[in-house]
Amino acid sequence: MVRPGGSAQDLSTLLSPRSVAVVGASGNLESISGRPIKLLKRFGFKGHIFPVNPNHDSLAGLKCYPDIRSLPLSPDVVLVGVRAQLVPGVVEQCSERGVPFSIIFSSGFAESTDPAAQDEILQKARAGGMRILGPNCQGLVNFADSVPLSFSASLDSDKRPLGGVAYVSQSGAFGFASFAMAADSGVGFRYVVTTGNQADLDLVDFGMAFAADPQVRLLVLYMEGLSRGDRFIELLRFAAERGVPVAVLKVGRSPTGQAAVKSHTAALTGEDEAWRTIFRQYGVLEIEDSDDIADLGKIFGPVKTPRGKRVGVITTSGGAGIIMADRAYDLGLKVEPLPRETREALERFVPPYGSTRNPVDLTAQVINDPGSFKSSLETVLDCPEIDMASVVISMITGDSGWSVTRDIIEVSRKASKPMACCWLINNEQGGPFLEELRSEKVPLFASPRRCAWALARLSEWVTMPALPARAPSDPRDPFLPRLPEELTEYDAKRLLARWGVPVTREILCSSLEDALSAASEIGYPVALKVMSPDIIHKTEAGAVALRLKDEEELRNAFGRLLERSLKAMPGARVRGMLVQEMVTGGVECMIGVKRDPVFGPFVAVGLGGIYVEILKDLSLRHAPVDVEEARRMIASLKGFPLLSGARGSVSKDTEALAGMVSRVSLMALAEESLAELDINPVFVLDEGGGAVAVDAAAIRGPR
């Protein structure tokens, strides 16, 4: 496996070690430092287990060693569960022995008031070439090879079905708790890893390893933050290439949540909208709670995918079927009437007081005639206009309940299309049925809402557009000059022009005589603007005069603008007066750039004026975008009809606007010192007339 950035990263020894040492091992097998030994034995670990504790000769029937130096061989993995002050010494001994991996359970590092302690253990580990998981984590489990390198109580249960879900969580407690809840509902896991402070190995390292595993069918990530967004995006690309869906539960969006993240894992978080844009653009299934992890694990477990969004609903309760249809509709699925041929086939099994329309209502008659149930399921799944099916069962119990259970299992095994089941029944009467369905890995849900949500996510994954093209390795022309320290509108538009973005004809003038000459060259009417790096919002400062139609109006405006500007912004540094052509006609739009601390530049496009300021009608993407993606951005705007020629109006040159968006995105990627850019307005003229940047404001980031 190749780690993003080019260096090889093989985690097989960590995931499947032949020998494990437990430093700080305890005779109390229910304590944090005793449970790893208990779990290794419980799972039947076939390798060597070395307890390390200078106060014992033996623990749990195993010879105990005083330190790492005294071990008979260098272990593949060392589990460290001692207090923080002792960890540097343990890591140093591991490095001396050439230990390849350590998992540090201990807390008190970057998440505490002493982050320098984490740097110390990382330096000692690197000196010996050792990789670290943690600190402040609960370790990992490889269920495929029965290797528990953790102390979590969630692993005491025998209810841990093997499956295709790989789960990586930055939170140890939440990670293993949510795993246990999902496993209890029938979800099969292949790996669970908690990364804690991520001093070294992080969520992306494990995500890349698991996405490369052909047995992994779903990658779930609990994330609090990242330091390098480019590596995360590379993970998403790699998973997409491998056909592995990625679901992310991202926390820390609220101000309170962001503060908690910083104190919890010392992770860097980006703005919420940036994360959501990344998720949409790079094909992430966004989830919000532990229930979502379980639901996705169920629906992505079987190796069956739908062709589209059309759902056939088969139910024994008309009301429950309607609820399912409503929830599916709310989530963008299609519950459409079945074709005539399918309805005619169903009439042999559905009583006259039922329905063959969709939802297919078999009614409670299933209790008296359970044989009709299987035939109805098969008929709906065989329909060419159905992509997947949802079976909604009410209180069917006793022999009829067992008959329905067997039929669902048999049809599910044979069906080529996904089928999910929602059985509305209490556990006392339905427990055996539900347990049988779970054991056969039939996706089982407790409510129509959860069932519809899972099917919607499955169809979302299948119908996702292709990922955007990779960014050029170095899009910048090395001969282009770097940005000046402070930028006026004139500077920002010169930058745009260098990148091929059309801007207004304009001349920067240092005197009234220069301004008069410039206006004569450009042609009246003109606009006059005060250029100062201290005046970003020129209109509010009275630093703009528009539609000056002759020399007299230009003379009068020149002194007046200077006076107003300096009154509004005392001490402002004036770099000159900009004489600019007046652009008329077209629709006002805007293009913006914002550099996120995690993911780098994003580009936005929207209609100008009220549409941006009040309606927030913007489309946002991670840069760069090609022209095709820019077209999709523009078409997604609520105000797009104003550009496309609604109600008989003339269509505007959206192709020119798309080209401008794409060029600005490339510029944003290359100009690393550019923190923000606002091109507003961009006049989009009639089709074929092009688009032109009329005003622009740019801000440099810190060095």
Is there a single domain that holds both residue 181 and residue 295?
yes
Residue 475 lies in a domain: no
Distance (Å, whole) CA 623 – CA 590: 16
With 70 as the cut, is the pLDDT of residue 269 above it?
no
- What CATH number corresponds to the domain at position 257? 3.40.50.261
At 662 the three-state DSSP class reads helix
Query: Do 129 and 14 share a structural domain?
Result: yes
674 touches 475 (CB < 8 A): no
Alpha-helix runs per DSSP H in 424-550: 427-439, 448-462, 489-498, 512-522
pLDDT given at position 109: 83
Helix (H) or strand (E) holding 121: helix 116-127
Per-residue model confidence (pLDDT) at position 478: 55
Question: Are residues 410 and 536 part of one domain?
Answer: no
Give yes or no for a cis peptide into 681 (omega within 30° of 0): yes
3 state SS of 665: helix
Residue 108: its pLDDT value, please? Answer: 84
Confirm if 444 and 423 have CB atoms less than 8 A apart. yes
Confidence of residue 400 (pLDDT cuts 50, 70, 90): confident
- Which residues, in sequence order, are CB contacts of 566 under 8 Å at separation 6+? 572, 574
Last residue of a domain, one of 427, 445, 462: 462
Q: Where are the beta strands (DSSP E) in 362-426?
A: 388-393, 419-423
Is residue 393 within 8 Å of residue 316, measured between CB atoms?
yes
Residue 159 shares a structural domain with residue 100: no
Average pLDDT of the chain, as a whole number: 90
Asked if residue 147 is part of any domain, the answer here is no
DSSP alpha helix (H) spans, 288-339: 290-299, 318-330
Q: Does residue 202 form part of some domain?
A: yes
Which of 403, 341, 396, 392 has its CA nearest to residue 370?
Answer: 403
* Domain edge (last residue) among 462, 495, 516: 462
- Per-residue pLDDT, averaged over 56-83, amounts to 96
Domain with 569 in it: what CATH number? 3.30.1490.20
Q: What are 301-354's pLDDT values in tens digits?
A: 877 889 999 999 999 988 999 999 999 999 999 999 999 999 999 999 888 888
Cα separation, 671 vs 485, in Å, equals 13
* Cβ atoms of residues 136 and 32 within 8 Å: no
Buried b (16+ CB within 10 A) or exposed e, 162-172: ebbbbbbbbbb
Residue 572 sits in the same domain as residue 591: no
Question: What is the token pair recorded at 16?
Answer: 């499947």
SS3 558: helix
Domain containing 66 — which CATH number? 3.40.50.720
pLDDT tier for residue 117 given thresholds of 50, 70 and 90: confident
Q: What is the pLDDT of residue 227?
A: 84
- Residue 64 backbone phi and psi in degrees, to 5: -105, 145
Q: What percent of the chain has pLDDT over 90?
A: 74
Query: Which of these ranges, 1-10, 35-44, 534-543, has the smallest mean pLDDT?
Result: 1-10
CB 441 within 8 A of CB 164: no
pLDDT at 264 over 60: no
Are 104 and 69 contacting, i.e. CB atoms less than 8 angstroms apart? Answer: no
Question: How large a percentage of the chain has pLDDT more than 70?
Answer: 94
Assign 3-state DSSP to the chain and report helix, strand, coil percentages, each to 5. 40, 20, 40
Model confidence at 257: pLDDT above 80: no
User: Residue 427's pLDDT is what?
Assistant: 80
pLDDT at 372 over 90: no
My answer on whether 326 and 456 are in the same domain is yes
Q: Rounded to whole angstroms, what are the CA distances from 369 to 36, 348, 353, 436?
A: 53, 12, 15, 22
The letter for the amino acid at 555 is: R
Are 559 and 625 within one domain? no
Q: Per-residue pLDDT for 262 more than 60?
A: no
Question: What are the beta bridge partners of residue 312?
Answer: 389
Segments forming the whole domain that contains residue 161: 152-301
CA distance 434 to 421: 10
pLDDT-derived band at 265, boundaries 50, 70, 90: very low
| In-domain check, residue 500 | no
- Say if residue 279 is in the same domain as residue 335: no
Decide: 83 and 185 in contact? Cβ < 8 Å.
Answer: no
Q: Give the pLDDT confidence of 404-416 residue by residue, as tens digits.
A: 999 999 999 999 9
Q: Give the number of domains in the chain.
A: 5
Match 């010879």 to its residue by tokens: 63
Whether residue 1 has pLDDT greater than 50 = no
pLDDT at 5 over 50: no
pLDDT digits 0-9 by tens, 563-576? 999 999 999 999 99
**Is the predicted pLDDT of residue 34 greater than 90, yes or no?**
yes
* Residue at 413: amino acid letter: R
* Strands annotated E in 368-433: 388-393, 419-423
pLDDT at 321: 93
Query: Given this model, what pLDDT does residue 293 score?
Result: 96
DSSP assignment letter at 618? E
Among 39-43, 87-91, 359-363, 377-381, the range scoring the smallest mean pLDDT is 359-363
Of 243, 275, 301, the position where a domain reaches its end is 301
Mean pLDDT of 156-179: 92
Distance CA 321, CA 315 (A): 6
Positive or negative torsion for Cα 14, 15, 18, 20: positive
Cα-based distances in Å from 231 to 43, 208, 236, 248, 703: 34, 10, 9, 15, 23
Indicate whether 225 and 173 sit together in one domain. Answer: yes
267: confidence class by pLDDT, cuts 50, 70, 90? very low
The answer as to whether 477 is a domain residue is: no
CATH number of the domain where residue 625 is located: 3.30.470.20
In this structure, what token pair is assigned to residue 543?
A: 């630093």
Q: What is the pLDDT of residues 506-551, one digit of tens each?
A: 999 999 999 999 999 999 999 999 999 999 888 889 999 999 999 9
- Do 237 and 345 lie in one domain? The reply is no
165 shares its domain with 214: yes
- Residue 475, pLDDT above cutoff 70: no
Q: Is residue 595 part of a domain?
A: yes
- 604 and 565 both lie in a single domain: no
Residue at 542 is within a domain: yes
pLDDT tens digits, 199-215: 999 999 999 999 999 99
Separation between Cα atoms, residue 303 and residue 388, nearest integer Å = 13
What average pLDDT does the segment 223-247 reach?
A: 94
Residue 511 lies in a domain: yes
Q: What is the pLDDT of residue 702?
A: 73
